[in-house]
Amino acid sequence: MAWFILLSILAVCFAGVLLFGAPYVPTLAPQVKAALRLAGLKPGDTLLELGCGDGRVLIAAAGQGINAVGYELNPLLFLVAWSRTRRYRGQIKVVWGNFWRQDWPPAEAVFTFLLARYMPKLDKKLMHYSPKPVKLVSCAFTIPNRKPDAEVSGVYLYTYR
Ligand SMILES: C[S@@+](CC[C@H](N)C(=O)[O-])C[C@H]1O[C@@H](n2cnc3c(N)ncnc32)[C@H](O)[C@@H]1O
């Protein structure tokens, strides 16, 4: 019975997110490195991560002195990210919720690893986002009808001015 309840909770948390966005697939270390390189942030700049999973990108950013804000809808992953980033509490903020429904804080760069079908919506959101310029660093998926400024290891960089 306990196993059934546990499996049901896991199914609701992981499958429920599919109604609003991409499933959980962790970004691999080479892509995290490429993303931070492409973002080109300085210590004190802010990175916004839309769907922060277990918090690995936030932690890598904080390790370079970058402030980071991550949104995560899956409550279990939110708890994992929140507890893994505790030691960076002054630098990293993890928010539980649907990032499409939030007012995004000012940031110099946005990191995402979503799905192709969300990229046009993201493009529109970023066109109306301020401050500008803002960089978008997207793992695996491109923005339709926009030429990336650069690509490294399957990670794409765009600049919105
Ligand atoms: C492909 S995973 C990437 C995870 C993370 N960036 C990493 O590198 O480990 C996408 C993440 O976005 C989260 N997600 C999807 N749609 C979301 C939404 N609308 N609001 C908040 N989080 C969302 C998923 O739960 C998942 O953890």
Q: Could you give all domains of the chain from N- to C-terminal order, each with its CATH number?
A: 2-160 (3.40.50.150)
Q: What is the pTM of this model?
A: 0.94
The residue whose CA is least distant from atom 20 of ligand 1 is: 98
Quick one: which of 131, 78, 140, 86 has its CA closest to 109?
Answer: 131
Assess contact for 106 and 131: CB atoms under 8 A: yes
Length of the chain: 161
Residues with pLDDT less than 70, the chain: 12-13, 16
pLDDT of residue 22: 84
Q: What number does the ligand 1 atom closest to the CA of 57 have? A: 8
52 is written with which tokens? 């922060």
The residue whose CA is least distant from atom 23 of ligand 1 is: 51
The residue whose CA is least distant from atom 26 of ligand 1 is: 24
Place of tokens 């803002």: 134
pLDDT of residue 145: 96
pLDDT of residue 1: 76
Ligand 1 mutation target, pool 31, 48, 52, 125, most atoms within 8 A of CB: 52
* Residues 129, 38: Cα–Cα separation, whole Å: 20
pLDDT of residue 32: 98
Q: What number does the ligand 1 atom closest to the CA of 112 have? A: 6
* Residues 111, 50: Cα–Cα separation, whole Å: 6
pLDDT of residue 12: 67
